Structure 1
Amino acid sequence: MLLTQSQVSVAITSTIVVTFTVILFLSGYILQQRTVKDLQDAIKPRVPQAPPSLTVQTPFADSIQPSRMFGGSIGSQGRVAYQKFMRTEDTGTNVNWKRLAHVQLARTHHDVCNSIMVFGELHRLKSPARKVLLFPKSWAAEKEGKGAMSDPFMDSSRRLMRMAARRYGVELRPVDPVVESTKEGVSSTYSLASAYALTDFDRVLSIETPGLLLDASPFDAVLAFTEKTPFAMLQDTAAGDGVHSEDLFLMEPSKTEHAALSERIGSMPSFNDTRFPAAFPDPLLLASSDNDNTLIRSIGVLHEAKSDFNATAFLDKVAYLRFSDPKLPGPEYDVPWAMKREARPDNKDADWHWTKLYGEFAQKRMDICGLDLEGWHPE
């Protein structure tokens, strides 16, 4: 059968159209599958690996753990857990992350944004553990209003907490004070000891604010894979690095421990959280760094920078930058320029890095909380 020239032309044109349509369809399908896979990878939680050296223990050299913050000694049989803070993520799938939580305590309205900034970064870094914000129960009980006796900061704190719950999946837990105020004008005392009442968790971890969370994996590894112990904290150092024991607390909630802890706290005069670790005679001490990684570093060490200061190494493999700066009240305050100029590090490179980090904190505060820096009003 002979085909006419027009029929051949139509056949060739149809073949070309069908071929390119199929190619276009297959290209779109492949691109769609890649996009779906990327979205699934972005949404699914990150699963940290158990650090291989986490269980390696060494006896504490001295009979006590020195502590600058507590003005004395803590522990009589302390052990230091030296651990590698690995970042690979191919193990740890058997951990029940719903039983683990990162916890922050907002004792005052001032603490709310600093705590939510930590939760915001945990969310961004895809921590698989739950996030819990403890706050005074009186905040939930107090009615909203504009009366003369209403708290002017209450509405802002409630707005921030609702935003954190909605955007970052933060669970809001009201708590009672551990020490009720008996004097008019004196605030009640709230403590991380209340975290021991969170018996729906096997273990909770709290880091001190304000700070910038740079890597959540090491904290997730500490939370999930540290040996069982009622209480663990950082090993205090004498290296002048600004890292203190109270920068990290790891706790195992239980009704028995909470009751016993409440009794011990009741026997401590003028209790506050600086004395909280003293309620545990033999805490597990977590080494704050190893040869490769650092859990917490203080921005205050930039004031001691020498001529060989390496700005890149300062934040390399650091999980959390704590703004414990001896020369400024905090990164959330807009201090006078003269005060900030006086506080700047002498080393030129350290000064540039110091200024940059304070700027990053201010920007994240705006991005996460929608708040400008607070005015500084020295007492």
Structure 2
Amino acid sequence: MPLQWLRGRFAYTPLQTDDAAFSGSLPWKGRPSPTIFTLRQLKLAAFTILGLLLLSGVGVYNRDQIEAIRAAYSTSQHDESPDVKSVDWSRFAYVQYVTNKDYLCNSVMFFERLQELESKADRVLMYPSIMLADPHEKEHEDSSDDAKLLILAREKYNVKLDPISVQHRTGSDPTWADSFTKLLAFNQTKYGRVLSIDSDSTLLQHMDELFSLPPTTVAMPRAYWLHPDKHILSSQVILIQPSQVEFTRITSKINNAGRNDYDMELVNELYQDSAMVLPHRPYDLLTGEFSKDNHQWYLGSDEEAWDPVAVYNEAKLLHFSDWPLPKPWLDAPENLVREREPKCVAMMDGLGSCAARDIWRGIYEEFRERRERVCDTSPPETLDNGRRRRRSRRRLEH
């Protein structure tokens, strides 16, 4: 299922109350083209916003402020301005980290999506050096599947390969044992700014506008699903200004981390009171949000009506989180899927809506189909190897 189909079907429109009408009346309408600021207007807007933040004493960016900066640096082919073209995009990079073959595929999918969305910033992939010792190596017959995928990322999606050592720590939860590896992004000092995004996610829109925010060591959204009153930062999206000073602080924290400390605990300990806060709408949406009965924490209000179509349409990043359902590249029992998927809801007019369920199913289906397409490193089938494969299958069948 191509992303265009999914986004086309659920492009923004007021939520329908009739499922039949819903499934057939959501043509792609696109997003309105934002007004492009001139460079002078951009500077004025940035200083105005920064001044308001300083006066309020809170480094929190709301959605309107982000929209203003996004409009100024919009990179779509329809509304690009001379000011945008003059940006030195080589100073900025999206950074992914890899610890195993599953997440390698996820990262390549992430970069494939960035290319499709015409993002202009560099792309950097930090990967275990054992997968490909020489990042400039050419593919050959004996190349491993991991090496082939890395070379594919470099050649097809213009990814800069950076071999690293995985930062492994033995803790109480093996799921997050290698999560400190993402913090090596603080050492990408050749860039003025890097954007680290977890790869167990689906990118719906690029985030190039974030590179134009006022200077700050880190900018992160809140983990809105975790006790909003505690103001916990989410490490799923981190805008970083790399420096040797900060990397030294990070390294020290990693070396002294406790058994229950992982990347999220570490960045909160260091930056909870100083980070610029990005709005989680639209930068950090959990797929599990579509299954909830109460959406107050995500919406930020108990007065705003939950509209899954509008929420999906505004989102830039969907993070797969439907525990106990496993990640989409792992098999799950059908009964567990049915248990965790969003339920159809009754509307005031007596009709039902399955919009949330259909969106949720579409997200998972699109991810699986794209994963199979993007990460297939098998050689193109020729007449000879096609015959060999068919003979091999017949032997197995008999």
1:111-140, Cα deviation, whole Å (9 max, x unpaired): 111111110000111111110010123434
1:359 is displaced (CA, Å) by: 0.9
1:177 is displaced (CA, Å) by: 3.9
1:275 aligned to 2:272? no
1:124 aligned to 2:116? yes
- Matched with 2:144 is 155
SS of the residue 1:351 aligns to: helix
1:204 is displaced (CA, Å) by: 0.4
- Indicate conservation of the 8 Å contact 1:136/1:190, yes or no: no
1:81 aligned to 2:70? no
- Indicate conservation of the 8 Å contact 1:297/1:322, yes or no: yes
- Cα distance change, pair 134–97 in 1 and its aligned pair in 2 (3 A): same
* d(CA) in 2 for partners of 1:310, 1:188: 36
- Matched with 1:93 is 85
Unaligned runs of 5+ in 1: 1-47, 63-76, 143-153, 372-379
* d(CA) in 2 for partners of 1:354, 1:342: 13
- Indicate conservation of the 8 Å contact 2:94/2:122, yes or no: yes
- Matched with 1:245 is 234
* d(CA) in 2 for partners of 1:231, 1:206: 11
SS of the residue 2:106 aligns to: helix
How many residue pairs were aligned?
289
- Cα distance change, pair 191–133 in 1 and its aligned pair in 2 (3 A): same
Structure richer in strand, relative to its length: 1
- Matched with 1:151 is none
* d(CA) in 2 for partners of 1:140, 1:190: 21
Q: 1:298 aligns with which of 281, 286, 292?
A: 286
* d(CA) in 2 for partners of 1:238, 1:179: 27
Unaligned runs of 5+ in 2: 1-35, 135-142, 295-304, 345-353, 378-398
1:324 is displaced (CA, Å) by: 1.8
Q: 1:364 aligns with which of 351, 370, 373?
A: 370
Alpha carbon RMSD of aligned pairs, Å? 3.6
* d(CA) in 2 for partners of 1:279, 1:267: 13
Q: Which amino acid aligns with 1:114?
A: N
- Indicate conservation of the 8 Å contact 2:99/2:166, yes or no: no
Q: 1:202 aligns with which of 183, 192, 199?
A: 192
Q: Normalising by the residue count of structure 2, what TM-score does the alignment of the two structures yield?
A: 0.63
* d(CA) in 2 for partners of 1:284, 1:244: 10
1:211 is displaced (CA, Å) by: 1.9
* Structure index of larger Rg: 1
- Indicate conservation of the 8 Å contact 1:311/1:349, yes or no: yes
* d(CA) in 1 for partners of 2:289, 2:227: 8
1:82-129, Cα deviation, whole Å (9 max, x unpaired): 321434432333321111100001122221111111100001111111
- Cα distance change, pair 349–240 in 1 and its aligned pair in 2 (3 A): farther
* d(CA) in 1 for partners of 2:99, 2:60: 30
- Matched with 1:320 is 317
Q: Normalising by the residue count of structure 1, what TM-score does the alignment of the two structures yield?
A: 0.66
- Cα distance change, pair 326–343 in 1 and its aligned pair in 2 (3 A): same
Q: Which amino acid aligns with 1:330?
A: K
Q: 1:332 aligns with which of 316, 329, 333?
A: 329
SS of the residue 1:361 aligns to: helix
- Matched with 1:168 is 157
Q: Which amino acid aligns with 2:367?
A: F
* d(CA) in 2 for partners of 1:328, 1:120: 26
1:318 is displaced (CA, Å) by: 2.1
- Cα distance change, pair 296–179 in 1 and its aligned pair in 2 (3 A): closer
Structure richer in helix, relative to its length: 2
